[in-house]
Structure 1
Amino acid sequence: MYTHHKNIITAGLPIDSAENAIIFLHGRGASATDIISLNQHLQMNNAALFAPQATNHSWYPYSFLAPVSENQPALDSALLLIKDLVENIEAQGIPKNKIFFVGFSQGACLTLEYISRNAGKYAGVVAFTGGLIGEELDLSNYEGNFDQTPILITTGNPDPHVPVSRVNESKKILEEMNAKVSVQIYPGRAHTISKAEIELARTLVFQSN
């Protein structure tokens, strides 16, 4: 059962003429329109762009470090929404290995949680300030092989929402699932997406395809 309504903003190329797809997941209090505009900086001009809008601008109610049960049913609803979107993109002719993910903050956490529960060879993943979700991580949720999917995770140190310890814990799990993970920590950086992070994403994730 959804708590999120299916409301997906699109941009970029029509899917039937695109080489890639990018799924953008916004942060708490933000919007699909905000996050999809990041492509002006990423400059992936051969892609169809998709950005789901969270109901009430939040994917789940509490911190990503809260017990998972406290963030239900919103978390499962958000994961199901992404799963449906991925399946729809694949059904229209763009395979999983041509699908990128880009998320910020709450959207970055959701991105990492989705791909880790649905591991496979993706085009690439960028989690701007994020980590896997839960007070304690349930390793039984994560299985499969990323087949060296490039994944970039960033955060500030300290960050008010995403501790470096959870970023490093997430990196270890993803690497054990055969992902090619890069982590970048920015001392004293505000809770935002910096120009340096965008350039790193272009270099490590987008230009490697």
Structure 2
Amino acid sequence: MAEIKQAGKKIEDANKVAILIHGRGASAESILSLKDYLHLEDYALFAPQAVGGSWYPYSFMAQEKNNEPAFSQAMKTIDDLVKSLYKRGFKSEQIYFIGFSQGACLSLEYATQNAEKYGGVIAFTGGLIGEQFNPSKYAGDFKGTPVFIGSSKQDMHVPLTRIQESSLLIEKMGAKVKTLIFADSEHTIREEEIEWVNANILN
């Protein structure tokens, strides 16, 4: 069972929840520091901690079997957290997913395998997971969920083609997708991404 860090509003006092998923080699505390930049004052924040700082051992585009059982355990961690929120009376549209890098890939993958009307999905450098792009894995209807993907045009971990494929499929499943692709080659979260998300999803 993954350790889950909490911040922001107490769950009893919140009517919105953000699940923040950290990247490889990072921590729940590090992804929670986004609260200093994103408009999350009114949210209860939950950040699961990956064992050893990594959700799965290899690239998100490696053969699926090579990332097991870690990948399935990571997806279960998110699913257990989401189901616990449903049990508390939260609806899907009150739940937001925010991830960076490996955490962005997981955010997109979980939300798209379980498409609902969510509050929002915010992926700072990520795409759908798998060696081959496999639309048959995904089901549901996003019903207008805002989805953001920001990245470099030539990110060292996430190819632009996978971002484009992911965006198209997510849009076909009913989401309102916004991509911001930057000319630099930095693997980071940019001020322009923060500003767009604050103005359009977390406002």
TM-score bracket for this pair, using the shorter chain length: over 0.9
Post-superposition Cα deviations, 1:124-171, rounded to whole Å, max 9, x if no partner, equal 010000000011022221011000100000110211001111000000
Q: Which residue of 2 aligns with 1:6?
A: 2
The answer to whether residue 182 in structure 2 is matched with residue 190 in structure 1 is no
Q: Report the TM-score, using the length of structure 2 for normalisation.
A: 0.98
* Residue correspondence of structure 1 range 50-199 to structure 2 within 5 A: 50-199=46-195
How far does residue 204 in structure 1 lie from its aligned partner after superposition? Answer: 2.2
User: Residue 2 of structure 2 aligns to which amino acid in structure 1?
Assistant: K
Q: Matches of 2:40 and 2:185 in 1, distance apart? A: 26
Q: Which residue of 2 aligns with 1:47?
A: 43
Q: Report the TM-score, using the length of structure 1 for normalisation.
A: 0.95
How far does residue 45 in structure 1 lie from its aligned partner after superposition? Answer: 1.2
2:37 alignment partner, SS class: helix
User: Residue 54 of structure 2 aligns to which amino acid in structure 1?
Assistant: S
How far does residue 93 in structure 1 lie from its aligned partner after superposition? Answer: 2.4
How far does residue 189 in structure 1 lie from its aligned partner after superposition? Answer: 4.0
User: Structure 2 stretches of 5 or more lacking a match?
Assistant: none
Runs of 4+ that moved beyond 2 A: none
Q: Matches of 1:41 and 1:89 in 2, distance apart? A: 24
Q: Matches of 1:63 and 1:46 in 2, distance apart? A: 34
Root-mean-square deviation (CA, aligned residues, Å) is 0.9
How far does residue 70 in structure 1 lie from its aligned partner after superposition? Answer: 1.1
Using the aligned pairs only, state the percent identity.
Answer: 47
How far does residue 195 in structure 1 lie from its aligned partner after superposition? Answer: 1.2
Q: Matches of 1:105 and 1:74 in 2, distance apart? A: 16
1:37 alignment partner, SS class: helix
Contact map agreement 1:16 1:92 (CA 8 A) in 2: no
Post-superposition Cα deviations, 1:59-84, rounded to whole Å, max 9, x if no partner, equal 00000111111111111110011000
Q: Matches of 2:120 and 2:112 in 1, distance apart? A: 13
Q: Matches of 2:163 and 2:34 in 1, distance apart? A: 22
The answer to whether residue 201 in structure 2 is matched with residue 205 in structure 1 is yes
